Amino acid sequence: MTLRDAVKTAVNGVGKQALLLSQTAANGALTTEQRVSAFRQIITLETGTTWLRRSKAIERDFGLSDVFLKFEGDNPTGTQKDRIAFAQVEDALRTGYGEVAVATCGNYGVAVALAAKLAGMKCHIFIPAGYHTDRLGEMEQLGGVIHRPAGSYEDVVRLSSQRAAAEGWYDANPGGRNTELQIAAYATIGEEIASELGRAPVCCAVPVSNGTLFAGIHRGLGNGDSTMMIAASSTAKNPIVYSFRKGFRECVDLDPAKIHETVINEPLINWHSFDGAEALKAIYASRGRAYNISDERMRKMTTYLAEREALRVLPASTAGLIALLRMHEEGILPDGQHVAVLTAKR
């Protein structure tokens, strides 16, 4: 199996001011308080506050109004993963760790590697042996120590967590004790949307994989039913979408043998969503909906955004936008402001 989870246009860099702050954050001779203070300033400078803009092209071409795109590709490594990566490394720094471990198929590993480097920490990155990522070289350039165990992504998450516990490394993997921290980090996306619009939107459409991003944005928008949350993922390959469409109130795992990754859908799929319970609750609490999206529609939407919006977007990032347009096609999209979150640049 050869897969490519690749953001190809990120510079993985930060500004001069952040590099100066890194000299303090990475200095083991200083107090923890001094280092954490410097690292928090790096987070403020470099992550989040990504742009939100109205898409007149989509409005004209699809017969809609008040459609806004929230583009997470502005983050240092080109995806929303920087928000949680920097939050995890800050927590590791604050609690006295010198090394951090994470399992990844690509994007999260680069984000954690960059954050760890700026904090003066060693980063262990576990990538399933059967996966190929074009971002492997970037992880190594950022000082990441690469481990390639056999197994699925979910298997490697478990293995890397076990290794972290045995070696005394900080575990930055999703789920468990990290759920609250990561949801809080992603809540800033919802807060930014509401702040820039002046109110919470009527609908917010988000690609889902583990569910953490979806649950976080819902929290940032107020945790209520004022914004309908729309989840979207690869067809029949995500437990959150599957469970909702079956009417289940609990997120159920899928059969791993029936999950087949492609170059387009890989960032979205899994047989177990680590924060699926939180995401499913968010759909129900917001009176939301969930959609299966085909690879072909994601591919076409990537081309469309490049031509009409001059945006280089990872195909999987378009799933939420496609679901929003599906609701319009079905005649069930309510009036008001709508936001689609684009999670990564290409």
Write a three-state SS string for the chain.
CCCECCCCCCCCCCCHHHHHHHHHHCCCCCCHHHHHHHHHHHHHHHCCCCCEEECHHHHHHHCCCCEEEEEHHHCCCCECHHHHHHHHHHHHHHCCCCEEEEECCCHHHHHHHHHHHHHCCEEEEECCCCCECCCHHHHHHCCCEEECCCCCHHHHHHHHHHHHHHHCCEECCCCHHHHHHHHHHHHHHHHHHHHHHCCCCCEEEEECCCCHHHHHHHHHCCCCCCCEEEEEEECCCCHHHHHHHCCCCCCCCCCHHHCCCCCCCCCCCCCCCCCHHHHHHHHHHCCCEEEEECHHHHHHHHHHHHHHCCCCECHHHHHHHHHHHHHHHCCCCCCCCEEEEECEEC
Average pLDDT, the chain: 94
> Quick one: pLDDT at residue 118?
98
Any residues with CB less than 8 A from the CB of 144 and at least 6 apart, and which?
Answer: 109, 112, 113, 116, 123, 124, 125
pLDDT of 4 strictly over 70: no
How far apart are the C-alpha atoms of 130 and 288, rounded to whole Å? 36
Average pLDDT over residues 305-314: 96
Enter the tokens of residue 125: 């990155």
Average pLDDT over residues 117-135: 91
User: Predicted confidence band at 147 (pLDDT cuts at 50, 70, 90)?
Assistant: very high
- All domains of the chain, ordered by start, with CATH? 16-44+80-178 (3.40.50.1100), 50-78+183-342 (3.40.50.1100)
From residue 20, alpha-carbon distances to 26, 36, 213 in Å are 10, 14, 30
pLDDT tens by residue, 275-297: 999 999 999 999 999 999 999 99
> Quick one: pLDDT at residue 135?
87
pLDDT of 259 strictly over 50: yes
> Quick one: pLDDT at residue 1?
25
> Quick one: pLDDT at residue 7?
55
> Quick one: pLDDT at residue 5?
46
Average pLDDT over residues 261-265: 87
pLDDT tens by residue, 174-184: 999 999 999 99
Average pLDDT over residues 98-110: 94
How far apart are the C-alpha atoms of 165 and 138, rounded to whole Å? 26
> Quick one: pLDDT at residue 262?
87
How far apart are the C-alpha atoms of 43 and 241, rounded to whole Å? 32
Enter the tokens of residue 20: 């100066």
How far apart are the C-alpha atoms of 308 and 142, rounded to whole Å? 34
How far apart are the C-alpha atoms of 101 and 159, rounded to whole Å? 11
User: Predicted confidence band at 267 (pLDDT cuts at 50, 70, 90)?
Assistant: confident
Enter the tokens of residue 22: 């890194």
- Quote the pTM value: 0.94
